[in-house]
Structure 1
Amino acid sequence: MGRYKNEIALKFLGERLKAYRLKAELEIEDLVVMTGFAYNTISNMENGSETYLSYFIEICFALGIHPKEILDIELDLKPRFPLPASRLEKSRLTNRINAFIEDGYFKVERSASEVTKKLSLDHKLAFESKNVSVILVRFAKSNILKVTKNGNKNLYSIK
């Protein structure tokens, strides 16, 4: 996938920067002196080209304005791509298992099937043990849980 840029927002922000610069009766060369940035860097930003956030902030400072003044624009506040329901559920599952860890549920060794049953009882979630196992293994790899073997079954507990 190629580099992404929100051309509409960048163009609008560039126009706002330019308007503030003109209102302050400054030339691009003045901002060059005040920021140490190249003329093209500032010109490109005003024309809606991609830039670094640090450059944007420093130019705002040179203009004597808080960056939030430039950023205070109407935008359609939604993600570029919707989060699939399966990904959202996985995040919620991870957070719920983390809550079990914090609440001391894993002070006693637990199998993935036990955790799955608790999730089903507490949150009315219908996940397979293999889905829960993947998350438990991640917690083990992060040294949050330890894994012990009981035959072919993994048991998880707090380290």
Structure 2
Amino acid sequence: MARYKNEIALKKIGEKLKNERLKAALEIEDLAAMTGFTYNTILNIETGLETYLSYFIDVCFSLGIHPKEIMDVTLDVKPRFSLPASRLEKSRLTNRINALIKSDYFNKERSAREVTQKLTIDYNSDFESKNVSVILIRFVKANILKITKVGNRNLYLIK
């Protein structure tokens, strides 16, 4: 699998760093001496080749510039890929269960089935009990809910 790099952003940031270096009347060798990095490392950053974030930060500091100033470039800000519908639904489900926890719904023991029914009524959505169970277990692991086993059913209660 090839390593991913955002070439457009790296080039814009590199150009901005180079412009700042030139404004400061510094040579690449000067930055190399100030950072302890090689000439090629500085050149790679300025030409938009991949670099470590720590290198970028130290180059900015050597130029007397906060990294956020260099990062202020015009870019098309959007995710590389759209969030899959299944992942989006799980995120919504987690947030909705979290809202139930905050609303004192779990002051009484609740089964995954009860929670599923409540969510289906409240949000007019079709949730599967197994998906609700997985998220409830995450809240148990996070010490937000506690679990009690009654037969083959799990009951969840606020801690």
Q: TM-score, normalised by structure 1?
A: 0.90
- Structure 1 CA distance for aligned equivalents of residues 125 and 116 of structure 2: 8
Give the aligned partner of residue 154 of structure 1.
154
Identity of aligned residues (%): 73
Give the letter for the 2:54 counterpart.
S
Q: Which runs of 4+ in 1 moved over 3 A?
A: none
1:55 CA drift (Å): 1.6
Structure 1 residue runs of 5 or longer lacking an equivalent are none
- Partner of residue 134, structure 2: 134
1:40 aligns with 2:40: yes
- Secondary structure in 1 aligned to 2:126? coil
Shift of 1:117: 1.6
Q: Distance in 1 between matches of 2:128 and 2:69?
A: 49
- Corresponding position of 1:91: 91
User: If the length of structure 2 is used for normalisation, what is the TM-score?
Assistant: 0.90
- Structure 2: tracts of 5 or more residues without a match: none
Amino acid of the structure 2 residue aligned with 1:17: L
Instruction: Provide the C-alpha distance between the structure 2 equivalents of 1:66 and 1:16, rounded to a whole number of angstroms.
Output: 12
Instruction: State the match for 2:8 in structure 1.
Output: 8
Task: Determine if the alignment matches structure 1 residue 25 to structure 2 residue 25.
Answer: yes
Return the alpha-carbon distance in structure 2 between the equivalents of residues 21 and 70 of structure 1.
Answer: 12
Name the aligned partner's letter for residue 15 of structure 1.
E
Residue 122 (structure 1) aligns with: 122
| Distance (whole Å) between structure 2 residues aligned to residue 137 and residue 38 of structure 1 | 50
1:58-77 residue pairs with structure 2 within 5 A? 58-77=58-77
- Within 2, Cα distance between the matches of 1:135 and 1:72? 38
Encode CA deviations 1:22-67: one digit per residue, 9 max, x unaligned: 1211011111222222222211111211112222122112212232
Q: What amino acid does structure 2 have at the position aligned with 1:48?
A: G
What root-mean-square deviation, in Å, do the aligned CA atoms of Structure 1 and Structure 2 show?
Answer: 1.6
